[in-house]
Chain A
């Protein structure tokens, strides 16, 4: 089976930097994705790491270490609108080209 661990909640202030860690145990690992979800909304894709290293997309960066089964999402210059739940998700092999398994989510609260 698969298991993912991420902190349940994180609080930070506007303008700050926050890092959300994710550790995973899985077989047939393709890569690690990050999604943002606002209350009652659809998850939106933020980032994907298939190889070790850092991927940067604007204020968001994501890192993966396959040997450590570890990744993180880094959010810079936090804004109030960044308050949401953030999910790491492992993409794993199946007989239909792969599937996404989600972690429990980290609720980020950005304070003024």
Chain B
């Protein structure tokens, strides 16, 4: 149980285009989802927290107009990287929170590797 999927697993796009990444909780409902970005050999940097049906809360330094997050249902959140540039190339990982025995455990998706040419 508690499986989180992401689609696509990798994507290559041209500079200036927009890319949408989907994150789904497959066997549970997630009221809260998180988006992280990870550069090679570095930590997972939290980009934003999204709750179903409300606006996402972005971390300091993350451009909300560049990284659009939509959490339309309890099982789906999307991240759209708008007007992507080579510096946006990274590994994007989503996470969904499951309330278990009073502890909010986060389960991570397999990640999406974005390469912007």
Contact = CB atoms under 8 A, between A and B. Distances in A.
Interface of A: 31, 35, 40-45, 48, 50, 87, 91, 94-105, 107
A50 to B, nearest CB: 7
Tell me the dominant secondary structure on chain B's binding face: strand
Interface residues of B, number: 26
B44 A102 contact: yes
B34 A44 contact: no
Of all A-B residue pairs in the complex, the 8 with the closest CB atoms, nearest first, are: A42-B108, A102-B44, A42-B110, A104-B43, A102-B43, A43-B108, A96-B49, A105-B43
Contacts of B108: 35, 42-44
B105 interface: yes
26 contacts: A31-B103, A40-B91, A40-B113, A42-B93, A42-B108, A42-B109, A42-B110, A42-B111, A43-B44, A43-B108, A45-B105, A48-B105, A91-B104, A94-B49, A97-B104, A100-B34, A100-B46, A100-B95, A101-B46, A102-B43, A102-B44, A102-B45, A103-B43, A104-B42, A105-B43, A107-B41
Contacts of B51: 96
A50 B103 contact: yes
B32 A96 contact: yes
B97 A97 contact: yes
Interface of B: 32, 34, 36, 41-46, 49, 51, 57, 91, 93, 95, 97, 103-111, 113
Contacts of A107: 41
Nearest to A96: B49
A10 B110 CA distance: 25
Nearest to B10: A40
B111 A100 contact: no
Given A87-B44, A105-B42, A107-B41, 10 more contacts: A40-B91, A42-B111, A45-B106, A48-B105, A99-B34, A100-B46, A100-B95, A102-B36, A102-B44, A104-B42
B93 A99 contact: no
Most buried by B among A87, A99, A105: A99
